Structure 1
Amino acid sequence: MKIPQDKLIKGDASISLQNVTISYGDFDAVRNIYCDIPRGKVTALIGPSGCGKSTVLRAINRMNDLIPSCSLKGRILFEGTDLYHPTIDPVEVRRKIGMVFQQPNPFPKSIFENIAFGARINGYTGDMDELVEQSLRKAAVWDECKDKLNESGYSLSGGQQQRLCIARTIAIEPEVILMDEPCSALDPISTLKIEETMHELKKSYTIIIVTHNMQQALRVSDMTAFYNAEVLEGVSGGKVGYLVEFNETETIFSSPSQKLTQDYISGKFG
């Protein structure tokens, strides 16, 4: 992606959401989001169910394009480039901005091919053995995989499969990694390993994570965005998400500027 010099983001923002509204048909899922996400840090998106956290996350690498009724107004800039400009290829967006989903989803292939496949179709021509090893090492799962690279990805435990999926994402050399509740289906030990992996990965990548776990947000993130939803009058069951507050994680959890944020993190609702 060529970045127009007159549209470069000032400061350390990797991704900038500028008055973003995301709709499904005539229904606004989230409305009027402004947020600059810094590079080289972990940003957590928190908030009650139905407030649009995952919708916002998927918009950042244009996964919502796969939903026919979904549309976006406003702009999402990645390193200064408008990701929704007509000239931008969404496949290229997803290579630059990788994603790890809630449920581990290895390919029905060997552990080696889980890593090599994406790199190969993206034109990688280097030493594939080295790429596979380095990707698995960065995802902290090499020691558990190195002696069975030809076995199915499904032979691994749930936590190992999730780290395999992180390694698969790393192998295509993204700049940003999105994680949609990556630990919700995992046991506490596997969750701890994923969190430790995130701390290492942020040295090389910008990471954005959706989580319902307040303690996890506090443990892993540098920045936290708190979303909430308000009920729409006259719409049965309808509600629209919005960003309440965005700040350093320590500030959000110790001295938030909004009472609504304090009520949420103290468990009064959600």
Structure 2
Amino acid sequence: MTSSSHSSQSADSSKGDACMSLQNVTISYGKFEAVKNVFMDIPRGRVTAFIGPSGCGKSTVLRGLNRMNDLIPGCKLKGRVVFDGHDLYDPKVDPVEVRRRIGMVFQKPNPFPKSIYENIAFGARINGFKGDMDELVERSLRKAAVWDECKDKLRESGFALSGGQQQRLCIARAIATEPEVILMDEPCSALDPISTLKIEETMHELKRSYTIIIVTHNMQQAVRVADQTAFFNAEAVEGGTGKVGYLVEFNDTERIFNAPGQQATQDYVSGRFG
């Protein structure tokens, strides 16, 4: 399969207003291409899920959307990631500002070693927030559906919360810097089923205000939360070791799971490999 045929699957999948556009994106670690030739228009105000087997590059692409990969020595991105009319990898673009406008929630909850209140206030303060901090803290915790569990212990450590509550605290922390996009890298993989359900309900609420992009290994989760789904796969590198990831297909979630255009997608979503 050539890279051009890989990318053709995503070309007609953008519906409505694109929030971010990936234009022939290839991401390498040193000389190793982790994922190549990705074309994708991610719609605004929707939940987009990245699915695929381990090692297909979906988390690498996700981190490329807010330049988190810049923090990995030797990691390079070729192509364009366009957000708000700007190429995020243009030398004039400030990666810190990129990460403020495109927030990130990681796989394992990672509260700051501070109070619940300061977990929310800290980033806002650094970003020059001059408004009513109490109101911002409450609003962020409410949007992340964790206010009721936190409101009486705002001065306690973030680590005093359960794992699921900590993850929603981390979502609230991302919200507090007033981003436009929230990236979530397997946000429920370390959580129990009840906490997972609460995070998923939170995502449904958040997409009213934000564009959400999630990497998940849980295909049922993709069906439950995502409006669009991108299926990534990997193939062996010719004459070398390792595999390179590529985008197979990107479409409405219902299409991906019920009537995919590619046999590889059908095989994956039906559990034949992965």
1:131 equivalent in alignment to 2:136: yes
1:5 is aligned to none
Selected match of 2:166 from 151, 154, 161: 161
Does the aligned pair in 2 maintain the 1:13–1:79 contact within 8 Å? no
1:244 equivalent in alignment to 2:248: yes
2:7 is aligned to none
Structure 2 CA distance, aligned partners of 1:231 and 1:204?
Answer: 40
Selected match of 1:73 from 78, 86, 90: 78
Structure 1 CA distance, aligned partners of 2:255 and 2:162?
Answer: 36
1:14 is aligned to 19
Q: Which runs of 5+ in 1 are unaligned?
A: 1-8
Structure 2 CA distance, aligned partners of 1:39 and 1:145?
Answer: 30
1:59 equivalent in alignment to 2:64: yes
| Matching residue's letter, 2:239 | G
1:4 is aligned to none
SS at match of 2:208: coil
Shift of 1:11: 4.7
Q: What percent of counterpart residues are identical?
A: 80
1:265 equivalent in alignment to 2:269: yes
Shift of 1:232: 1.1
SS at match of 2:209: coil
The CA deviation string for residues 69-115 of structure 1, in whole angstroms up to 9 with x for no partner, is 10011000012110000100000000000000000000000000000
How many pairs were matched up? Answer: 261
Selected match of 1:45 from 46, 50, 68: 50
Matched ranges for 1:1-270 at <5 A? 11-236=16-241, 238-270=242-274
Moved more, 227-236 or 136-145: 227-236
Q: Which runs of 5+ in 2 are unaligned?
A: 1-13
Shift of 1:233: 2.8
Shift of 1:10: 10
Structure 1 CA distance, aligned partners of 2:240 and 2:199?
Answer: 40
Please give the TM-score of this superposition, normalised by the length of structure 2: 0.94
| Matching residue's letter, 1:261 | T
Shift of 1:247: 0.1
